[in-house]
Structure 1
Amino acid sequence: MAANSSSVQVTAGVSFAARLRFENISHEFLPGLATLHDVSLTADAGEVLCLLGPSGSGKTTLLRIAAGLQGQTRGRLFLNEREIAGPEVFLPPEKRSIGLVFQDFALFPHLSIIDNVRFGLTALSKDEARREAMNALKRVGLAHYADAYPQALSGGQQQRVALARAIAPRPAVLLMDEPFSGLDSRLRDMVRAETLEILRRSRATAIVVTHDAEEAMRLGDKIALLKDGNLVQVGTAQQLYNQPSNLFAAGFFSELNVFEGRAQNGVVETPLGRFSANGLSDGTAASVAFRLSAFDISEKSGEIPARVLSRRFLGVIELVELAVPGSEVPVRARVRCGALSGDDREIWLTIRETDVLVFARSDNSA
């Protein structure tokens, strides 16, 4: 287990928190094989920005461009208003004041924890480097492990050592590539919360890559959703969840039941009822998405008759598959445990319209 977070910690901040701006960034590994398409994005000073998307969306490539490990094909990168990468400029990684935490922690097994943390502090004397490294370990609550070796630490503790090594030089921007993916789910929640607290105390600008929407919502002041190298939507967790820009964005933040239809007289007809066409003109092909939380279930009355096909107990909620008139595929719903009795299979549904989303079908590119 990770060390108790009540361990002595210091609150020394970074030298300064910077604004990192990507301007029209494109990248191609080979001509015609683009990984990023004209991405413009800003991480404001002191902000935690999460880069979210499926594998192959360009998240890690964008992070590597920020770190200086890879050059963009087109576009510019600015730290505050200073251009650090562009057609005529390319600062090497060590000149950028940007720290990087790797997915696999990349700790040296033959070095003690304190030596791992001070490894990059080459500009300081031995004593100064040890002092800064110890301060960084105090900030992550692991100073008492200074003389231990990585193999003696848990996965969560190793992640915090990697974080200490990244913040020891007091970078203006900290980059983290899937930093919690190697941890089991229970440990991940704890280490993620501790890391966010450390980032807040350090006051560094941070960019975190993840493919997990819930993780992005837990960590990010702002989330940038990418797909196939394109920036789909940027905003707060509430904005992306409540006002997704298209069906892909909606589906990334919640499971959906999707029905196809056409806008007519301001509405779209589905097996679950008629819903506002959300401004679509008559005749426009539409996708109507229902979150699994969109259904209230009753055994006595409601809007739509349904039959229970299967139930899966998940603790606080049940995952239920339902047959409804007019739908060839089952409708999935998440309902509070106890909402259904043990035996009754014929029920009624009432739709929560706040969990119904309508998009032009051309946006269906999940």
Structure 2
Amino acid sequence: MVAASATARVTAGVSFAARLAFDRVSHEFSPTAATLHEVSLAAEPGEVLCLLGPSGSGKTTLLRIAAGIEAQTRGSVLLNDREIAGPSVFLPPEQRSIGLVFQDFALFPHLTILDNVRFGLTALSREEARREAMISLARVGLEDYAGSYPHILSGGEQQRVALARAIAPRPAVLLMDEPFSGLDSRLKDTVRAETLEILRRSRATAIVVTHDAEEAMRMGDRIALLKDGRLVQLGTAQELYNSPATLFAAGFFSEINVFEARVEDGAVDTPLGRFDAGGLADGTSASVAFRLSAFDVSQTHGEIPARVVSRRFLGVVELLELAVPGADRLVRARVRCGALSNPNREIWLTVRKPDVLVFERTQEST
């Protein structure tokens, strides 16, 4: 953890947060190989914005365009409403006041930790650069390692050095490309929490790329969900989880069971019951999604009979696969351990309606 004493004594080196905006940004390697399609979104001053999506969704390309490593095909990038990349201007990376933390940390093995951190402070004198680098190392709790070399540090400590190097020039915006992907799951939680605390203290606007929905919810003030180079939805974690715009968004934030249905009298009928169609017109083909958390189970009473086909212990919860009358596939459910106290396979289900989501069926749904 970052030392409390270091936190208390570091008072300099705070960034002036900026607004970074993408205005209808497109990118393509060839006329038939587009990676981004008119993406418009903005990271507000001091905000942590997470770019979330599967591999190939355009997250890293958008980050590289912001950093100036890649040029967009169309559209503009603006920093505090000033165009830094567009049809008539393209500022090089060193003139953008934008820091970048790479996925593999990219530390120089032949340089000390101090020299790694002050590497980009070329505009300062040697003594000023040393002072700023030590301030950054103190902010991440590693000032005692200034004279050491990267190979003696753990993965989490190397990640913090990379972060210290990125914030040393006091960037207005900090970009992070899947910064925790190389860490084991136990260390990841700790380093992620430390990094978020450092970002809050440095006050820089931050854009973090991740493919992990839980990580995005833990870190982001807002989340931009991308798919196939398009912005699917932008909002807070609560907004994207509780009110997903598409079936893809629903499935990205939670595991779901999906049934196809047709809207009749404002409702949809499924093997798990009849539910409000959410305003879809009668006759519309619909996809009805049930989160795995949508089910209460009982061995004595409920709405729907079911038979337990498989049961996996996962610690706090159990993962069930259930055969339900009228369903042509098994229904998956996550239930609290102990909810089913004996091995009897015949049970009852009750569905929680807030965990049922209805979408108009599209080609994507199929």
TM-score, with length taken from structure 2: 0.98
* CA apart distance, 1:146: 0.5
Compared CA separation, residues 289 and 192, structure 1 to 2 (3 A): same
Question: Does structure 2 conserve the Cα–Cα contact (< 8 Å) formed by 1:247 and 1:363?
Answer: no
The one-letter amino acid paired with 1:42 is A
CA distance in 2, matches of 1:256, 1:334: 11
Whether 1:153 and 2:149 are equivalent positions in the alignment is: no
Secondary structure of the equivalent of 1:45?
coil
Whether 1:331 and 2:360 are equivalent positions in the alignment is: no
Compared CA separation, residues 5 and 250, structure 1 to 2 (3 A): farther
Compared CA separation, residues 340 and 5, structure 1 to 2 (3 A): farther
Question: Does structure 2 conserve the Cα–Cα contact (< 8 Å) formed by 1:7 and 1:142?
Answer: no
* CA apart distance, 1:362: 1.1
Question: Does structure 1 conserve the Cα–Cα contact (< 8 Å) formed by 2:15 and 2:203?
Answer: no
- 1:81-106 Cα distance to aligned partner (Å, 9 max, x none): 11100000000000000000000000
- 1:247-292 Cα distance to aligned partner (Å, 9 max, x none): 0000000000000010011001100001111111111110000000
Residue matched to 1:8 = 6
Secondary structure of the equivalent of 2:293?
coil
Residue matched to 1:173 = 173
- RMSD (Å), alpha carbons: 1.1
Structure 2: tracts of 5 or more residues without a match: none
Residue matched to 2:354 = 354
Structure 1 residue runs of 4 or more that deviate by more than 6 Å after TM superposition: none
TM-score, with length taken from structure 1: 0.98
Secondary structure of the equivalent of 1:195?
helix
Compared CA separation, residues 13 and 263, structure 1 to 2 (3 A): farther
Structure 1: tracts of 5 or more residues without a match: none
Question: Does structure 2 conserve the Cα–Cα contact (< 8 Å) formed by 1:13 and 1:203?
Answer: no
CA distance in 2, matches of 1:117, 1:365: 48
Residue matched to 2:164 = 164
Residue matched to 1:52 = 52
CA distance in 2, matches of 1:44, 1:128: 30
Question: Does structure 2 conserve the Cα–Cα contact (< 8 Å) formed by 1:304 and 1:349?
Answer: yes
- 1:268-322 Cα distance to aligned partner (Å, 9 max, x none): 1100001111111111110000000000000000000000111100111000111
Q: How does 1:44-83 map to 2 (within 5 A)?
A: 44-83=44-83
The one-letter amino acid paired with 2:269 is E
Aligned length: 364
Residue matched to 1:307 = 307
Residue matched to 2:113 = 113
Q: How does 1:154-233 map to 2 (within 5 A)?
A: 154-233=154-233
Secondary structure of the equivalent of 2:250?
helix
Question: Does structure 2 conserve the Cα–Cα contact (< 8 Å) formed by 1:14 and 1:171?
Answer: no
Residue matched to 1:245 = 245
Secondary structure of the equivalent of 1:347?
strand
CA distance in 1, matches of 2:12, 2:299: 59
Larger CA deviation: 4-13 vs 304-313: 4-13
CA distance in 1, matches of 2:88, 2:286: 46
